[in-house]
Amino acid sequence: MKTNRSGLELIKRFEGLRLTAYLCPADVWTIGYGHTSAAGAPPVVKGMKITAQEASDILARDLAKYEAAVAKALTRTPNENQFSAMVSLCYNIGAGAFVGSSVAKRFNAGNEQGAADAFRLWNKAGGKVLPGLIRRREDERTLFLTPVVSQPKPVEPVPVPPAPTPPPAPETPPAVTQPPATAAPDFAKWVIGAAAALIAALAAWMMKG
CA distances from 57 to 30, 33, 76 (A): 15, 10, 30
In a domain, 85, yes or no: yes
- 75: in domain: yes
pLDDT tens column, 32-43: 999 999 889 999
CATH number of the domain residue 79 falls in: 1.10.530.40
Buried b (16+ CB within 10 A) or exposed e, 15-47: beebeebeeeeeeebbbbbbbbeebeeeebeee
Residue 25 is predicted with a pLDDT of: 81
Residue 69 inside a domain? The answer is yes
**pLDDT the model gives residue 143:** 98
User: What confidence score (pLDDT) does residue 144 get?
Assistant: 98
Does some domain include residue 194?
no
* Span 83-138, pLDDT tens digits: 999 999 999 999 999 999 999 999 999 999 999 999 999 999 888 999 999 999 99
pLDDT tens-digit readout, 130-182: 999 999 999 999 999 999 987 556 556 656 666 666 666 666 655 555 555 55
The residue that leads in pLDDT, 55 or 178, is 55
What pTM did the predictor assign? Answer: 0.70
- Mean pLDDT computed over 181-188: 58
Catalytic site residues?
15
Range of the domain at 121: 5-145
> Who's near 59: CB < 8 A, 6+ residues apart?
11, 12, 32, 33, 35
| Domain count within the chain | 1
Q: Which residue has the higher pLDDT, 140 or 204?
A: 140
- Residue 199 resides in a domain: no
Let me know if residue 154 belongs to a domain.
Answer: no
Q: Render pLDDT for 5-18 as a digit per residue (tens, 0 to 9).
A: 999 999 999 999 99
The reply to whether 111 falls in a domain is yes
